[in-house]
Amino acid sequence: MSTSPAVLSQETHEIASDSDVVRVRQSVRNLAIDAKLSLVDQTKLVTAASELARNTLVHGGGGRVTVEMVTAGARRGVRAVFSDHGPGIADIALALTDGWTTGTGLGLGLSGARRLVDEFDLVSDPGSGTQVRVVKWTR
């Protein structure tokens, strides 16, 4: 991409509890509707956001998310960046394979979320935390 997308609106939410995860879902859903994503794309994005928000809470020890409506050319999209200062992920490649899990989960969080969005970036360092950026565009 030659230019980075322009940001039309932005919201930031702290993720410190269960109810915050619900709030993040609603925020992402509202922005997805405003950006005119199809119903299926809305559902995919909100589901991915739910996974990532929960990851931030459960594995990251809490953190925050910035949700933005972006444009690139004629297309609109929704971008969400989750960040925490938790223990980080030591083996990212492993974490992104299906079935990987640290806890009692099904281990689908990251790899599953990646399939649901158009762009997925993960940066993690044991010691400084994790940051996940996802974007879903209108078709």
Partner 1 sequence: MDRIPVLRIGDILLVSVQVDLQDDTALALQEDLAERIVETGAHGVLIDISGLEIVDSFIGRMISTIASVSAVLDATTVVVGMRPAVAITLVELGLSLDGVSTALDVDRGLALLGGLRPSGGLARSDAAEDAATDPGE
Partner 2 sequence: MTEPSRSGWDLLAAHRRQIVEQWSTVAAGALAGRITQAELDRDVAEMFDALTTGAVTGQHRLTDDAYAPMRDLLADLARTRARQGFSPTETAVGVFALKEAVLHLLESLGDLELYRFFADFSRLVDEVGLHLLESFSQAREMVISEQADALLELSTPVVKLWDGIVSLPLVGTLDSARTQVVMEKLLQALVETGSEHAIIDITGVSAVDTQVAQHLLKTVMAARLLGAECIISGIRPQIAQTVVALGIEFGDITTKASLADALLLALRRSGQDVVRRQAPQVR
Shortest distance, position 37 Cβ to partner 1, whole Å = 11
Rounded distance between C-alpha atoms, residue 34 and residue 122, angstroms = 26
Q: What mask, x for binding partner 1 by CB under 8 A, covers residues 45 to 64?
A: -xx--xx--x----------
Which residue reads 């994005």 in tokens? 45
Residues near partner 2 (CB under 8 A) are 40, 73-74, 139
- Nearer to partner 2 by C-beta: 40 or 93? 40
Among 5, 13, 35, 42, binds partner 1 (CB under 8 A): 42
The DSSP letter of residue 36 is: T
Residue 39 has which token pair? 């119903």
**At a CB cut-off of 8 Å and minimum separation 6, what does 93 contact?**
none
